[in-house]
Structure 1
């Protein structure tokens, strides 16, 4: 590592795999990419349109734990406050000049989960089912269980299908269903906490 300043050049060795190496790497990458838009100037309308599409896409991506865009995925942001609106986050990552980057430019390996979104959903579902099962509760389903995936066939409804259900009714039904599931999950958690408290008191 080389430092420049009024005191001259300060050269220090950095060993790979150490905490110091990780800090140095994060520092270098952060400032090398601090102004990402300054290193590239679009020359054509197609290039400018591409950057506009990228900026618009990043507008809806979560930039931090407290970003309002998590609401689009059914996830409550950290430390929520009144007036959270998806797409209106003021985080730096949503600015075209940052191109989706904010703060630390490198995510350290100890924070990697190693799982994709499908695996996260499966893990969350397993947790919910475990909580419900602990108090003998079962989620209310519109259809019977189909563990083998052979009882039902799910296909998109064509736009010109005359028998397709009303979209407003589908939306209201989905909202009501989610509220029922959430209430049932909260009741199961409360019952489990009460049971654990009673056992501790005994």
Structure 2
């Protein structure tokens, strides 16, 4: 080590920066996110520059703009709308499939799976839309039986034909509504059990 060499231990003064750079750094210094060197440069500049000092004081009187946050209700509404459209598609497909099976007269046992399953899925994901399923399922029977009503009217009085028609459709229509409600009840119990386990964990 050279004994004649004297180390410069004096603190270095911050290098002067243009006003534009200082003004860009001002918001960072004001918010406390600027580094110590940047903060020192800004303060040194403010001590000498009256224009920037005026701007600094003006910044101090302004309240920071709140960060734009997403609207939770709007996001939730969009999610619910998408789920509702998806559930409506599931309900329509399930009802049409059940209607086709009933019209064909083959594999009637699948009706006792399709309708409860459709209603159960709707009940699992939505608290309101599932109520349409038993009503629409029950309506399938009288709709499919309309040709027989017109046929009976050709051979008997309208009143007698209507009586026979309603006598023939009310029981299967009620049965379809009941099996849909069984599916909804099963889904409700399963959902309650899953939520109960989630809370315990």
TM over 0.5: no
TM-score by length of 1: 0.24
- Larger helix proportion, structure 1 or 2? 2
The one of the two structures with greater contact order (alpha-carbon pairs below 8 A, sep at least 6) is 2
